[in-house]
A and B are shown apart, each in its own frame.
Chain A
Amino acid sequence: MPYDYRPFPYVAPPGLNGPEPRHKVIIVGAGPVGLALAIDLANHGVPSVVLDDNNVVSVGSRAICWSKRSLEILDRLGVGEQAVTKGVTWKVGRTFHRDAEVFNFDLLPEAGHKMPAFVNLQQYYVEEYLVARAQALPLIDLRFKNKVVGVAQHGSHASVTVETPDGSYALEAEWVVACDGARSPLRGMLGLDFDGELFEERFLIADIEMQRDGVPERWFWFEPEFHAGQSALLHKQPDNIYRIDLQLGWDANPEAERQPERVIPRIAKVVGHADFRLDWVSVYTFQCRRLTRFVEDRVIFIGDAAHVVSPFGARGGNGGLQDVDALGWRLAAVVLGSAPPDALAAFDRERCFGADENILNSARSTRFMSPEPGVERLFRDAVLDLAGRADFARPMVNSGRLSRPCVYPMPDAPDVAALPAASRPGAVAPDAPLGNGWLCEALGRGFVLLGCGVDVPKVAGTTPLRVVGGAEIRARYLGDAAGAVYLVRPDQVVAARWLAPAAAEVAATLRAVQEGRL
């Protein structure tokens, strides 16, 4: 069944009848990133106005591949279980060269985590769940058909001009967060440009509905017989919708390629029959670029508005949710006055690092998939040729390195090197079973002082959480130590860890983290 795009109601905003009081936060764009930020801020007690030029969810599946980390973030926002229930959980990927399988991977998710390694779920479902959640929260003022057409900086606040079906109005806020996508109009309005690479390659992306048996897997072909010299990807989504990506080459005409009479025969060759319904088609080019900085006075850029990557590796939507994760608690603290605006520099630092890691990985995948003629092509073909007969070449085959959360560099954070690497400062606190639930459910509201096998000192601004070490806690948090104390940030990232810290030591570290110095 095709997805039912039900329009959300437009309500004339109060600003049309007179100036509104200055808001705390305006979020521009009600995609997954903007909605997630609004909910995260609301969870921290901060109200926001979300403006979207449209009144339906994403048309087309777009971001489909949600990583474990994204699912944990969505869970904290109240929609994670819905996403996993509806989504297609998968763990096996197969890579073919010509018609032979050269390599496969099993994500072999480690046991003892609430969330699976990946689920595939159309972006429109994620947005539908987030909209419903946002609409249930009184702190969120979600305004559809409110299009931002102008933005101005005023030192301690920013203002936007908004067009609605009933005319235009002005709106002020202490902070404006641009979540308005890869073509970000706000970025253009502020005259900011992207640095990085544009790849001269075109891909056709199509969703089809068909019946197909078998376990859901990610299938990637280099130079398949059915699509000579190019590459192709097949991936399953809910509702019997399959995502197909076909490399077209730079000379392809995007308008002609998106016509059904061109698309249908191409896809019929991939799936071996024509018994399918074409649901959505798009033609895209690759870019791997970002803004030089994400905080521009009172306007903050996150998600595709701040950085874009090629789609192989699932680093667009997942990268955007990690931006939300790093920004939400900090912006809330700044708005509530418990941290100085300078603390946002730490968000900028961390997410520029994250974006660079995503750009690096996605640019490498793109280069492998679409090598320049000459020596790039020579080595790419050499790797594919060897991969079928020598194990060592298989990890060099790159059809996308799947999104994992980056570990933020925190060289000055208190650390004990003998504790497990998985939970070192800068890493997301690894999940583990906890009573009848999960550790990740107990983290992520405020700062948590997690005592594994030991009592924790009483430190203002932290919630104590004493856990007794099961096997997973031991492996992920203790190693050979009898006990350890972890300071976990509201975004579930480990800020510091000790064996037996004094309260003053923890308090000083907490302050440094809150002020963006650590």
Chain B
Amino acid sequence: MSLNTQPNIADADGFYAALLAAHRGLTEAESHAMNARLVLVLANHVGSRAVLDQALALARGESRP
């Protein structure tokens, strides 16, 4: 399996707004903590180490889609 880098969220604008809304009212430290939890939750959902490794590389800027 490989990392899906094609558009995959039906309502991208809606999700983006929901992400910002989830952070509303949090301090910067609280936002960082929430992001860390979110990363763990999503990573577990993905499950595949191969996909996660590609996601880590992409997020670090080490590879291009």
Contacts and interface: CB of A to CB of B under 8 A. Distances in A.
A386 B33 CA distance: 11
Interface stretch (B10-18, B35-43, B53-61): B35-43
A383 interface: yes
A396 B36 CA distance: 14
A402 interface: no
Contacts of A385: 33, 37
Contacts, number: 28
B38 to A, nearest CB: 9
Nearest to A380: B36
A390 interface: yes
Nearest to B44: A392
A379 interface: yes
Contacts of B40: 379, 382-383, 386, 392-393, 396
Interface residues of B, number: 8
Nearest to A387: B40
Contacts of A471: none
Contacts of B32: 378
A393 B39 CA distance: 12
Contacts of A378: 32-33, 36
Contacts of A396: 40
A455 interface: no
Contact of B33 (A381, A390, A392, A393): A381
A393 B44 CA distance: 8
A379 B36 contact: yes
Nearest to B34: A382
A382 B33 contact: yes
Interface of A: 375, 378-379, 381-383, 385-386, 390, 392-393, 396
21 contacts: A375-B36, A378-B32, A378-B36, A379-B36, A379-B39, A379-B40, A381-B33, A382-B33, A382-B37, A382-B39, A383-B40, A385-B33, A385-B37, A386-B37, A386-B40, A386-B41, A390-B41, A390-B44, A392-B44, A393-B40, A393-B44
Given A381-B36, A392-B41, 10 more contacts: A375-B36, A378-B32, A381-B33, A382-B40, A385-B37, A386-B37, A386-B40, A390-B41, A392-B44, A393-B44
Interface of B: 32-33, 36-37, 39-41, 44
